[in-house]
Amino acid sequence: MHNFRNLQIWKDAMDLAQAVYEITEALPKMETYGLISQMTRAAVSVPSNIAEGSGRTDKDFSHFLQIATLPIARAAEEFEALRLETEAAKKQPVAFMLTIGNLAMRIARAQFSCNFLACAGYKVIDNNGFATIAEGIKAARKAKADIIVLCSSDDEYADLAPKAWKKLQGKKELFIVAGAPACMEDLQKLGITNFIHVRCNVLETLKSFNQQLLKK
């Protein structure tokens, strides 16, 4: 059995894991189940794989050392590939925050959405708020937005989301609701299918958006 605690690679991996945890503390709490979860799980898996492999044969231990860094490498590579795919497009997608209604919720959800979508290399445009859905959509189109993100409170989505969808349905913009409101199923029945929230798989959701946006 190998004493993994004496290995410099294990010590470095533990330092890396601690650094990742410290970095993620600065991220918005709304990312707890998104980027924070992905980053910390990837970081912890490195020393964990080394420790687990230490009880195996030399050949198996060598294999565990080889795969130990794959989770972090894969996570970084996949996000980098996503951004490169965006950069290679003819036009950088523009995401416009249609902020309306409850002040605290629209600000929080706009911040979350900007962080979320920026991971794919999209240009994000935040706003101070609009009095009506029509006013927000007009501003979004003036900004030549490819994505319109409705940012409001759960209670207001039942009224605001259908209004926005009615004006956008069949149009070129990708419509997203920021959050997972109780009325989500009702909104989905109307045809609203894009939601971003803390329980989303960030990478897979952004891949889906790229498929919809970059094929245009």
**pLDDT tens, position by position, 7-33:** 676 777 777 778 777 777 766 665 555
Residue 32 domain-assigned?
Answer: yes
pLDDT band at residue 127 using 50, 70 and 90 as cut-offs: very high
Q: Which of 32, 34, 29, 30 is nearest to 205 (CA)?
A: 34
User: What are phi and psi for residue 96, nearest 5 degrees?
Assistant: -110, 125
pTM here is 0.69
Total count of domains within the chain? 2
**Can you read off the two tokens belonging to residue 160?**
């605001």
Query: Which of 38-47, 84-93, 124-133, 139-148 shows the lowest per-residue confidence on average (mean pLDDT)?
Result: 38-47
Q: Do the domain assignments include residue 175?
A: yes
The answer to whether position 75 is within a domain reads no
Same domain assignment for residues 47 and 99: no
Assess whether 40 and 95 both reside in one domain.
no
Q: Which domain holds residue 129?
A: 87-214
Final residue in a domain of this structure, among 39, 68, 97: 68
Whether residues 184 and 120 fall in one domain: yes
136 and 59 assigned to the same domain: no
Residue 105 lies in a domain: yes
Confirm whether 40 is domain-assigned.
yes
Residues 19 and 39: their CA atoms lie apart, in Å, by 11
* Shared domain check, 168 and 108: yes
Looking up residue 92, the CATH number of its domain turns out to be 3.40.50.280
The rounded distance, in Å, linking the Cα atoms of 34 and 15 is 22
Pick the most confident of 38-47, 61-70, 75-84, 156-165.
Answer: 156-165
